[in-house]
Amino acid sequence: MDENQSQDYYAKHRGMVISDNWTGYNLDVFTLPNHYAEDLDCVFIPHGVIVDRIERLANDIMKDIGDNHITVLCVLKGGYKFCADLVEQIKNLSRNSERFISMRVDFIRLRSYCNDKSTEDLQIIGGEDLSKLTGKNVLIVEDVIGTGRTMKALLSHLEAYDPKMVKVASLLVKRSSDNKYRPDYTGFEIPNKFVVGYALDYNEHFRDLHHICLISESGKEKYKV
């Protein structure tokens, strides 16, 4: 692997790296729902930065798997916004390119969180439809990878259906000693902190936030189940 290939591999797998000492942006300089005013610490990644990063991810995916039909497997609920924006960017690039990706989108739900903690139990909802993936090129679109256990379990589960190819794109990857898994495409590598917004939730709250934000301790307590 030459230097350019090495840099490209690094960018895809680590994405935009946000350091451990990043404190985010003051809430007062953004427009946010008033009902969350006391529940957030900061805006961690502004919406505009997210959109620009997704455009680059779409470009990387086009270069790698253009001229193929792929099944996009969106992991709900947190991945729906990222998936919709990523698919739209790929479609826009395809319309203006000699290469073309034909896509169909399917959905799956995974449950592995209680409050802000990942659990050992993985529930797969919608698994009866996975037989459609046999012999297909699959792009899994996930919102955030924490320990990597959930994604590894899903990939192991998919092996039984014998897809032709499986790639994983995750908007966020948390940096921690517990995470031994790296997706094929990463939007942002972030510290091991609990973030909400851009469809990422805390017990079904905060999905309506435009930006990715850090939830405050009082917010965790307020919406704890």
Query: Mind listing the pLDDT tens digit for each residue in 62-71?
Result: 989 888 899 9
Amino acid symbol at 164? K
- The band of 3, judged by pLDDT with boundaries at 50, 70 and 90, is low
pTM to 2 decimal places: 0.88
What confidence score (pLDDT) does residue 94 get?
87
**Torsion, Cα of 133, 135, 141, 142 (10° steps):** 70
pLDDT the model gives residue 2: 57
Q: What gap in Å lies between CA 82 and CA 84, rounded to an integer?
A: 6
Domain coordinates of the chain in residue numbers? 49-188
Mean pLDDT of the chain: 87
Q: What tens digit of pLDDT does each residue of 99-147 get?
A: 788 899 998 887 655 545 555 566 677 655 788 889 999 999 999 998 8
- Write down the pLDDT at residue 167: 96
Percentage of the chain surpassing pLDDT 70? 88
pLDDT band at 84 (very low <50, low <70, confident <90, very high): very high
Mean pLDDT (whole number) for 31-50: 93
Per-residue pLDDT for 5 more than 60? no
Closest C-alpha to 85, from 52, 126, 133: 52
Give the span between the Cα atoms of 12 and 87, in whole angstroms: 17
The alpha carbon dihedral of 54, 59, 65, 68 has a sign of positive
Q: How far apart are CA 55 and CA 124, in angstroms?
A: 29
| Rounded Cα distance, 102 and 71, in Å | 9
Average pLDDT over residues 52-72: 92
> Tens digit of pLDDT for each residue in 183-220?
999 999 999 999 999 999 999 899 999 999 999 999 99
The four Cα atoms 193, 198, 199, 205 give a dihedral, to 10 degrees, of 70
Kindly state the percentage of the chain with pLDDT values over 90. 58
> Which residues does 176 contact at the CB level (< 8 Å), separation at least 6?
146, 147, 192
Q: Does domain 49-188 have CATH number 3.40.50.2020?
A: yes
